[in-house]
Protein backbone atom coordinates (compact mmCIF):
# COMPACT_ATOMS: atom_id res chain seq x y z
CA UNK A 1 0.00 0.00 0.00
CA UNK A 2 1.20 3.49 -0.86
CA UNK A 3 0.71 6.11 1.90
CA UNK A 4 1.20 9.88 1.94
CA UNK A 5 1.16 11.77 5.25
CA UNK A 6 0.70 15.55 5.44
CA UNK A 7 1.15 17.91 8.39
CA UNK A 8 3.77 18.75 10.98
CA UNK A 9 7.35 17.60 11.50
CA UNK A 10 9.35 18.90 14.45
CA UNK A 11 11.96 18.05 17.02
CA UNK A 12 10.65 17.23 20.50
CA UNK A 13 12.66 17.87 23.64
CA UNK A 14 11.12 15.68 26.31
CA UNK A 15 11.67 16.45 29.99
CA UNK A 16 10.74 13.82 32.59
CA UNK A 17 10.27 15.14 36.13
CA UNK A 18 9.64 13.00 39.22
CA UNK A 19 6.19 13.56 40.70
CA UNK A 20 7.62 14.80 44.02
CA UNK A 21 9.63 17.50 42.21
CA UNK A 22 6.68 19.33 40.62
CA UNK A 23 3.25 20.18 42.00
CA UNK A 24 0.06 18.98 40.34
CA UNK A 25 -3.32 20.67 40.77
CA UNK A 26 -6.57 18.97 39.68
CA UNK A 27 -9.87 20.81 39.35
CA UNK A 28 -12.70 19.30 41.40
CA UNK A 29 -15.55 20.35 39.09
CA UNK A 30 -13.76 20.10 35.76
CA UNK A 31 -11.52 17.66 33.94
CA UNK A 32 -8.48 19.95 33.85
CA UNK A 33 -5.26 19.47 35.78
CA UNK A 34 -2.13 21.60 35.96
CA UNK A 35 1.59 21.19 36.55
CA UNK A 36 3.02 24.09 38.54
CA UNK A 37 6.50 25.42 37.75
CA UNK A 38 7.91 27.58 40.53
CA UNK A 39 9.19 30.90 39.25
CA UNK A 40 12.93 31.41 39.77
CA UNK A 41 13.40 27.80 40.89
CA UNK A 42 15.56 25.21 39.16
CA UNK A 43 13.73 21.87 38.95
CA UNK A 44 15.78 18.69 38.69
CA UNK A 45 14.77 16.43 35.78
CA UNK A 46 15.09 12.66 35.68
CA UNK A 47 15.81 12.69 31.95
CA UNK A 48 15.93 15.04 28.98
CA UNK A 49 15.88 13.50 25.50
CA UNK A 50 15.26 14.68 21.94
CA UNK A 51 13.37 12.91 19.18
CA UNK A 52 11.33 13.53 16.07
CA UNK A 53 7.70 14.53 16.40
CA UNK A 54 4.73 16.17 14.75
CA UNK A 55 1.58 14.60 13.33
CA UNK A 56 2.81 13.86 9.81
CA UNK A 57 6.19 12.66 11.08
CA UNK A 58 4.66 10.26 13.61
CA UNK A 59 2.11 8.96 11.12
CA UNK A 60 4.78 8.41 8.46
CA UNK A 61 6.91 6.35 10.84
CA UNK A 62 3.86 4.33 11.89
CA UNK A 63 2.93 3.58 8.26
CA UNK A 64 6.50 2.71 7.28
CA UNK A 65 6.89 0.25 10.16
CA UNK A 66 3.65 -1.40 9.08
CA UNK A 67 5.39 -2.17 5.80
CA UNK A 68 3.82 0.47 3.57
CA UNK A 69 5.59 2.57 0.97
CA UNK A 70 5.42 5.97 2.65
CA UNK A 71 6.03 9.61 1.70
CA UNK A 72 5.62 12.79 3.71
CA UNK A 73 4.62 16.36 2.90
CA UNK A 74 5.80 18.75 5.62
CA UNK A 75 7.93 21.87 5.86
CA UNK A 76 11.19 22.22 7.77
CA UNK A 77 13.77 24.96 8.14
CA UNK A 78 17.38 25.03 7.03
CA UNK A 79 19.00 24.19 10.36
CA UNK A 80 20.35 21.44 12.59
CA UNK A 81 16.91 20.33 13.68
CA UNK A 82 16.01 19.73 10.04
CA UNK A 83 19.05 17.50 9.63
CA UNK A 84 17.95 15.51 12.67
CA UNK A 85 14.51 14.91 11.15
CA UNK A 86 15.93 14.01 7.74
CA UNK A 87 18.23 11.45 9.30
CA UNK A 88 15.39 9.85 11.28
CA UNK A 89 13.08 9.70 8.26
CA UNK A 90 15.77 8.17 6.06
CA UNK A 91 16.41 5.51 8.70
CA UNK A 92 12.74 4.49 8.43
CA UNK A 93 12.89 4.29 4.63
CA UNK A 94 10.44 7.18 4.14
CA UNK A 95 10.46 8.99 0.79
CA UNK A 96 11.55 12.64 1.24
CA UNK A 97 10.79 13.83 -2.29
CA UNK A 98 7.98 16.12 -1.15
CA UNK A 99 9.51 17.44 2.07
CA UNK A 100 9.86 21.21 1.58
CA UNK A 101 12.28 23.71 3.13
CA UNK A 102 11.38 27.22 4.24
CA UNK A 103 14.12 29.85 4.02
CA UNK A 104 12.70 32.19 6.66
CA UNK A 105 11.42 30.04 9.53
CA UNK A 106 13.30 27.43 11.58
CA UNK A 107 12.19 23.85 11.94
CA UNK A 108 9.34 23.47 14.41
CA UNK A 109 10.13 22.30 17.93
CA UNK A 110 8.37 21.35 21.15
CA UNK A 111 9.30 21.05 24.81
CA UNK A 112 7.29 18.33 26.51
CA UNK A 113 7.00 18.11 30.31
CA UNK A 114 6.09 14.62 31.54
CA UNK A 115 5.26 14.07 35.23
CA UNK A 116 2.58 12.66 37.56
CA UNK A 117 -0.05 11.08 35.24
CA UNK A 118 2.39 11.34 32.28
CA UNK A 119 -0.26 13.29 30.38
CA UNK A 120 2.37 15.73 29.20
CA UNK A 121 2.24 19.51 29.08
CA UNK A 122 3.61 20.75 25.75
CA UNK A 123 5.24 24.03 24.74
CA UNK A 124 5.22 24.29 20.94
CA UNK A 125 6.94 26.55 18.41
CA UNK A 126 5.49 25.58 15.03
CA UNK A 127 8.01 27.46 12.88
CA UNK A 128 8.20 26.21 9.30
CA UNK A 129 5.20 23.93 9.88
CA UNK A 130 2.96 26.96 9.40
CA UNK A 131 4.45 27.88 6.01
CA UNK A 132 3.12 25.20 3.64
CA UNK A 133 2.01 26.81 0.36
CA UNK A 134 0.10 25.52 -2.66
CA UNK A 135 3.35 24.78 -4.51
CA UNK A 136 4.26 22.31 -1.75
CA UNK A 137 1.15 20.27 -2.64
CA UNK A 138 1.56 19.40 -6.35
CA UNK A 139 -0.78 16.83 -7.95
CA UNK A 140 2.24 14.59 -8.61
CA UNK A 141 2.73 14.09 -4.85
CA UNK A 142 -0.76 12.54 -4.59
CA UNK A 143 -0.62 10.37 -7.71
CA UNK A 144 -0.79 6.63 -7.09
CA UNK A 145 -1.55 6.92 -3.37
CA UNK A 146 -3.86 4.41 -1.72
CA UNK A 147 -4.14 6.46 1.47
CA UNK A 148 -3.62 10.16 2.17
CA UNK A 149 -3.40 10.85 5.90
CA UNK A 150 -3.78 14.51 6.90
CA UNK A 151 -2.64 15.46 10.40
CA UNK A 152 -3.26 18.80 12.08
CA UNK A 153 -2.48 21.86 9.94
CA UNK A 154 -2.09 25.32 11.46
CA UNK A 155 -1.92 28.98 10.43
CA UNK A 156 -1.03 29.51 6.75
CA UNK A 157 -0.69 25.78 6.16
CA UNK A 158 -4.31 25.24 7.22
CA UNK A 159 -5.44 27.65 4.48
CA UNK A 160 -4.54 24.92 1.98
CA UNK A 161 -6.53 22.13 3.61
CA UNK A 162 -9.29 22.34 0.95
CA UNK A 163 -6.60 21.91 -1.72
CA UNK A 164 -5.28 18.82 0.08
CA UNK A 165 -8.78 17.32 0.07
CA UNK A 166 -9.22 18.15 -3.61
CA UNK A 167 -5.85 16.63 -4.57
CA UNK A 168 -6.45 13.44 -2.57
CA UNK A 169 -9.88 12.78 -4.01
CA UNK A 170 -8.77 13.64 -7.55
CA UNK A 171 -6.05 11.01 -7.18
CA UNK A 172 -8.60 8.41 -6.07
CA UNK A 173 -6.97 7.97 -2.66
CA UNK A 174 -8.72 7.10 0.58
CA UNK A 175 -8.64 10.24 2.72
CA UNK A 176 -8.04 10.06 6.49
CA UNK A 177 -8.11 13.32 8.46
CA UNK A 178 -6.96 13.87 12.04
CA UNK A 179 -7.50 17.61 12.66
CA UNK A 180 -6.29 19.13 15.89
CA UNK A 181 -8.31 21.39 18.13
CA UNK A 182 -6.64 24.48 16.63
CA UNK A 183 -7.67 23.58 13.09
CA UNK A 184 -11.21 22.74 14.17
CA UNK A 185 -11.46 26.07 15.99
CA UNK A 186 -9.79 28.46 13.55
CA UNK A 187 -10.66 26.69 10.26
CA UNK A 188 -13.91 24.99 11.24
CA UNK A 189 -15.81 25.76 8.04
CA UNK A 190 -13.14 24.16 5.85
CA UNK A 191 -13.30 20.93 7.85
CA UNK A 192 -17.10 21.01 8.03
CA UNK A 193 -17.55 21.42 4.28
CA UNK A 194 -15.11 18.58 3.59
CA UNK A 195 -16.88 15.98 5.75
CA UNK A 196 -18.63 14.29 2.81
CA UNK A 197 -15.24 13.75 1.15
CA UNK A 198 -13.52 12.23 4.21
CA UNK A 199 -13.28 8.46 4.34
CA UNK A 200 -11.87 8.32 7.90
CA UNK A 201 -12.26 11.13 10.44
CA UNK A 202 -10.22 10.73 13.63
CA UNK A 203 -11.04 12.95 16.63
CA UNK A 204 -10.68 12.76 20.39
CA UNK A 205 -13.48 13.67 22.79
CA UNK A 206 -12.54 17.36 23.07
CA UNK A 207 -12.25 17.70 19.30
CA UNK A 208 -15.58 15.92 18.84
CA UNK A 209 -17.28 18.43 21.13
CA UNK A 210 -16.00 21.22 18.86
CA UNK A 211 -18.21 19.78 16.09
CA UNK A 212 -21.32 19.77 18.30
CA UNK A 213 -22.59 23.35 17.85
CA UNK A 214 -23.02 22.89 14.09
CA UNK A 215 -24.49 19.41 14.50
CA UNK A 216 -27.00 20.76 17.01
CA UNK A 217 -28.36 23.17 14.40
CA UNK A 218 -29.38 20.28 12.16
CA UNK A 219 -29.93 17.32 14.45
CA UNK A 220 -30.76 18.86 17.83
CA UNK A 221 -29.54 17.71 21.21
CA UNK A 222 -30.39 14.65 23.31
CA UNK A 223 -30.56 11.28 21.63
CA UNK A 224 -30.99 7.65 22.57
CA UNK A 225 -28.36 6.05 24.82
CA UNK A 226 -26.24 3.13 23.70
CA UNK A 227 -28.18 -0.11 24.02
CA UNK A 228 -26.19 -3.14 25.14
CA UNK A 229 -26.67 -6.52 26.71
CA UNK A 230 -26.89 -6.63 30.52
CA UNK A 231 -23.48 -8.30 30.87
CA UNK A 232 -21.68 -5.54 28.95
CA UNK A 233 -20.31 -2.57 30.90
CA UNK A 234 -21.25 0.63 29.08
CA UNK A 235 -18.13 2.79 28.47
CA UNK A 236 -18.09 6.19 30.25
CA UNK A 237 -18.45 8.28 27.07
CA UNK A 238 -21.43 6.20 25.95
CA UNK A 239 -23.07 6.85 29.32
CA UNK A 240 -22.57 10.59 29.58
CA UNK A 241 -22.51 11.53 25.89
CA UNK A 242 -20.87 14.69 24.56
CA UNK A 243 -21.34 18.17 26.01
CA UNK A 244 -20.90 21.64 24.57
CA UNK A 245 -22.28 25.04 25.57
CA UNK A 246 -24.75 23.58 28.03
CA UNK A 247 -26.13 21.09 25.50
CA UNK A 248 -25.74 17.33 25.52
CA UNK A 249 -25.82 14.83 22.67
CA UNK A 250 -25.72 11.08 23.10
CA UNK A 251 -22.81 9.23 21.57
CA UNK A 252 -25.14 7.28 19.28
CA UNK A 253 -26.78 10.46 17.98
CA UNK A 254 -23.45 12.24 17.52
CA UNK A 255 -21.86 9.43 15.51
CA UNK A 256 -25.05 8.78 13.55
CA UNK A 257 -25.26 12.46 12.59
CA UNK A 258 -21.72 12.47 11.19
CA UNK A 259 -22.38 9.29 9.20
CA UNK A 260 -25.58 10.86 7.84
CA UNK A 261 -23.55 13.86 6.66
CA UNK A 262 -21.52 11.54 4.43
CA UNK A 263 -18.51 10.49 6.49
CA UNK A 264 -17.26 7.01 5.73
CA UNK A 265 -15.84 6.10 9.15
CA UNK A 266 -15.68 8.07 12.40
CA UNK A 267 -12.96 7.29 14.96
CA UNK A 268 -13.63 8.78 18.41
CA UNK A 269 -10.99 8.24 21.09
CA UNK A 270 -11.40 8.89 24.81
CA UNK A 271 -7.90 8.35 26.18
CA UNK A 272 -7.67 5.66 28.83
CA UNK A 273 -11.42 5.06 28.45
CA UNK A 274 -11.01 3.43 25.05
CA UNK A 275 -12.22 4.26 21.55
CA UNK A 276 -15.28 3.99 19.31
CA UNK A 277 -15.50 3.36 15.57
CA UNK A 278 -18.68 4.08 13.59
CA UNK A 279 -19.20 2.88 10.00
CA UNK A 280 -22.67 2.84 8.48
CA UNK A 281 -24.94 1.26 11.10
CA UNK A 282 -22.02 -0.49 12.81
CA UNK A 283 -20.47 0.74 16.05
CA UNK A 284 -17.39 -0.83 17.62
CA UNK A 285 -15.83 -0.14 20.99
CA UNK A 286 -12.50 -1.28 22.35
CA UNK A 287 -11.17 -0.68 25.83
CA UNK A 288 -7.71 0.85 26.08
CA UNK A 289 -4.73 -1.41 26.82
CA UNK A 290 -3.63 -1.09 30.44
CA UNK A 291 0.08 -0.22 30.51
CA UNK A 292 2.44 1.79 32.70
CA UNK A 293 2.77 5.05 30.77
CA UNK A 294 6.05 6.90 30.37
CA UNK A 295 4.31 9.67 28.37
CA UNK A 296 1.02 9.95 26.51
CA UNK A 297 2.34 12.21 23.75
CA UNK A 298 2.03 10.58 20.34
CA UNK A 299 -0.63 8.05 21.37
CA UNK A 300 -3.30 9.81 19.31
CA UNK A 301 -1.10 9.89 16.21
CA UNK A 302 -0.25 6.22 16.62
CA UNK A 303 -3.90 5.25 17.05
CA UNK A 304 -5.22 7.26 14.12
CA UNK A 305 -2.46 6.37 11.66
CA UNK A 306 -2.53 2.68 12.55
CA UNK A 307 -6.31 2.52 12.23
CA UNK A 308 -6.28 4.30 8.87
CA UNK A 309 -3.56 2.02 7.50
CA UNK A 310 -5.14 -1.20 8.77
CA UNK A 311 -8.64 -0.32 7.59
CA UNK A 312 -7.37 0.72 4.16
CA UNK A 313 -5.40 -2.51 3.90
CA UNK A 314 -7.93 -5.00 5.34
CA UNK A 315 -11.36 -3.30 5.26
CA UNK A 316 -11.90 -4.90 8.69
CA UNK A 317 -12.86 -2.17 11.23
CA UNK A 318 -12.72 -4.49 14.24
CA UNK A 319 -9.18 -5.68 13.47
CA UNK A 320 -8.11 -2.13 12.61
CA UNK A 321 -9.47 -0.94 15.97
CA UNK A 322 -7.55 -3.63 17.84
CA UNK A 323 -4.35 -2.83 15.94
CA UNK A 324 -4.73 0.89 16.69
CA UNK A 325 -5.33 0.34 20.42
CA UNK A 326 -2.33 -1.99 20.73
CA UNK A 327 0.04 0.32 18.85
CA UNK A 328 -1.06 3.37 20.84
CA UNK A 329 -0.53 1.47 24.11
CA UNK A 330 2.93 0.43 22.95
CA UNK A 331 3.84 4.06 22.21
CA UNK A 332 2.92 5.38 25.66
CA UNK A 333 5.31 2.92 27.31
CA UNK A 334 8.18 5.03 25.97
CA UNK A 335 9.08 8.66 26.51
CA UNK A 336 9.19 9.57 22.80
CA UNK A 337 6.58 9.16 20.07
CA UNK A 338 8.29 6.58 17.81
CA UNK A 339 10.18 3.98 19.84
CA UNK A 340 7.01 2.09 20.70
CA UNK A 341 5.59 1.98 17.16
CA UNK A 342 5.40 -1.69 16.18
CA UNK A 343 6.22 -3.43 12.93
CA UNK A 344 3.42 -5.24 11.13
CA UNK A 345 4.69 -8.64 12.26
CA UNK A 346 4.95 -7.59 15.92
CA UNK A 347 1.53 -5.98 15.81
CA UNK A 348 -0.05 -9.07 14.27
CA UNK A 349 1.41 -11.19 17.05
CA UNK A 350 -0.01 -8.84 19.66
CA UNK A 351 -3.45 -8.87 18.01
CA UNK A 352 -3.54 -12.65 18.15
CA UNK A 353 -2.25 -12.72 21.74
CA UNK A 354 -4.63 -10.07 23.09
CA UNK A 355 -8.04 -11.23 24.23
CA UNK A 356 -10.88 -9.87 22.12
CA UNK A 357 -13.01 -9.59 25.28
CA UNK A 358 -12.21 -5.89 25.22
CA UNK A 359 -13.87 -5.46 21.79
CA UNK A 360 -17.64 -4.98 21.46
CA UNK A 361 -19.92 -4.22 18.53
CA UNK A 362 -23.27 -2.44 18.61
CA UNK A 363 -25.79 -0.95 16.19
CA UNK A 364 -26.31 2.78 15.79
The three state secondary structure string of the chain is CEEEEECCCEEEEEEECCHHHCEEEECCCCCCEEEECCCCCCCCCCEEEEEEECHHHHHHHHHHHCCCEEEEECEECCCHHHHHHHHHHHHCCCECCCCEECCCCCCEEEEEEECCCCCCEEEEECHHHHCCCHHHCCHHHHCCCCEEEECCCCHHHHHHHHHHHHHHHHCCCEEEECCCHHHHHHCHHHHHHHHHHCCEEEEEHHHHHHHHHHHHHHHCCECCCCCCCCCCCCCHHHHHCEEECCEEECHHHHHHHHHHCCCCEEEEECHHHCEEEEECCEEEEECCCCCCCCCCCCHHHHHHHHHHHHHHHHCCHHHHHHHHHHHHHHHHCCCCCCCCCCCHHHHHHHHHHCCHHHEEEEEC
Give a yes or no: residue 295 inside a domain: yes
Give a yes or no: residue 301 inside a domain: yes
Give a yes or no: residue 29 inside a domain: no
Give a yes or no: residue 32 inside a domain: no
Give a yes or no: residue 316 inside a domain: yes
The CATH number linked to 282 is 3.40.1190.20
Give a yes or no: residue 36 inside a domain: no
Distance CA 248, CA 220 (A): 9
- What angle, 0 to 180 degrees and rounded to 10, lies between the N-to-C axes of helices 55-65 and 80-91? 20
Q: Do the beta carbons of residue 186 and residue 159 sit within 8 Å? A: no
Q: Do the beta carbons of residue 77 and residue 102 sit within 8 Å? A: yes
Query: What integer pLDDT is reported at residue 235 of this predicted model?
Result: 85
Give a yes or no: residue 198 inside a domain: yes
Give a yes or no: residue 41 inside a domain: no
Q: Which parts of the chain register pLDDT below 70?
A: 27-31, 116-120, 228-231, 355-359, 361-364
- What's the domain count of the chain? 1
Query: What integer pLDDT is reported at residue 166 of this predicted model?
Result: 98
Query: What integer pLDDT is reported at residue 173 of this predicted model?
Result: 98
Q: What pTM does this model have? A: 0.92
Query: What integer pLDDT is reported at residue 326 of this predicted model?
Result: 95
Expressed as residue numbers, the domain containing 117 is: 2-17+46-363
Amino acid sequence: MNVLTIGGAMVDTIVTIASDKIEQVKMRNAESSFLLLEEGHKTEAEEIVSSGGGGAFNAAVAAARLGHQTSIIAKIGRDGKAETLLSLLRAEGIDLSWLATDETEPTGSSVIISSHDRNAAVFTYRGANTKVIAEDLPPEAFAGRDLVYVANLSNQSADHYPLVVQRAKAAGARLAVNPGIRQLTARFDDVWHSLKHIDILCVNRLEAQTLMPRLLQTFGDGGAPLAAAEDIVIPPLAKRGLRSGGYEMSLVKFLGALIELGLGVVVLTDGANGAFIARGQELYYRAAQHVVAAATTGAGDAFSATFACYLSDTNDPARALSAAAINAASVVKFIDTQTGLLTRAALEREIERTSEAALFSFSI
